[in-house]
Amino acid sequence: QKEVEQNSGPLSVPEGAIASLNCTYSDRGSQSFFWYRQYSGKSPELIMSIYSNGDKEDGRFTAQLNKASQYVSLLIRDSQPSDSATYLCAVTSGGSNYKLTFGKGTLLTVNP
Amino acid sequence: SAVISQKPSRDICQRGTSLTIQCQVDSQVTMMFWYRQQPGQSLTLIATANQGSEATYESGFVIDKFPISRPNLTFSTLTVSNMSPEDSSIYLCSGEEGHTEAFFGQGTRLTVV
């Protein structure tokens, strides 16, 4: 059973701080890695994708991937109350370029 | 990015009945996926739906319980059959875009009583 593990949370940070979200995966064959944000009662929305080792930055978000350690993380700089949501890590698995396995998510709360 | 319109957004159904959920994409996508998100849990893939072939089901999910149609490249349905309270969940469809960047419909919140 391919697994994706996330730090359980909930994670609480003050406004303006850096929020760090972590994820490990068990399938060494995984090729694509994603972070989704899910507000309560809403469907997931893609915020970051990363496919190669290293860092990828998009505005206040930075995704980091280390395939040797089977580890992917998401940093949110200058956290805002509107960032409060559950963050889901997802990886392709099962030898597929399309099938996603999701972690259970980390609930982030940004306090004003 | 592409947009999926999913309906119904929510429903309350009697046990033993069936509900069909529809997803309409505003562009053609090769692969569509159906997920279930049980309360407080993450997404679990039910099946992959390709146009012109039978859906591929994940372990623990069977066609008799979750029949899927994919008549063309912009549309898919999932039926939850012979429902029980354990089927109460959020059901989500998704399509792939570009390099496997999945996008989701709004979800269907199903309550079985």
pLDDT, tens digit, 9 for 90 and up, residues B66-81: 999 999 999 999 999 9
Q: Which of B42, B48, B59 would you mutate first to test chain A, the one with the most A CBs within 10 A?
A: B42
Q: How confident is the model at residue B51 (pLDDT cuts 50, 70, 90)?
A: confident
B85: helix, strand or coil: helix
Written as tens digits, the pLDDT of chain A (112 aa) is 678 999 878 999 999 999 999 999 998 888 889 999 999 888 899 899 999 999 999 999 999 999 999 999 999 999 999 999 999 999 987 666 678 899 999 999 999 9
User: Furthest-apart CA pair in chain A: how many Å?
Assistant: 43
β strands within A1-105, DSSP E: 4-6, 11-14, 19-25, 33-38, 45-50, 54-58, 61-66, 71-76, 85-92, 100-102
For tokens 């190669």, the residue is A52
Compare all CA atoms of chain A with the CA of B4 and give the residue at the minimum distance: A43
Q: Which of B100, B104, B111 would you mutate first to test chain A, the one with the most A CBs within 10 A?
A: B100
Distances (CA, A) of A9 to A86, B87, B111, B113: 10, 27, 28, 32
Q: What is the mean pLDDT of residues B16-28?
A: 96
**Beta strands B10-13 and B108-112, pairing class:** parallel
Which residues partner with A102 through β-bridges?
A90
- pLDDT at residue number A74: 98
- Exposed, middle or buried by CB within 10 Å (0-12, 13-18, 19+), for A26? middle
Between B1, B31, B104, which is nearest A98 by CB?
B31
Q: Indicate the residue type of A69.
A: S
Q: How confident is the model at residue B42 (pLDDT cuts 50, 70, 90)?
A: confident
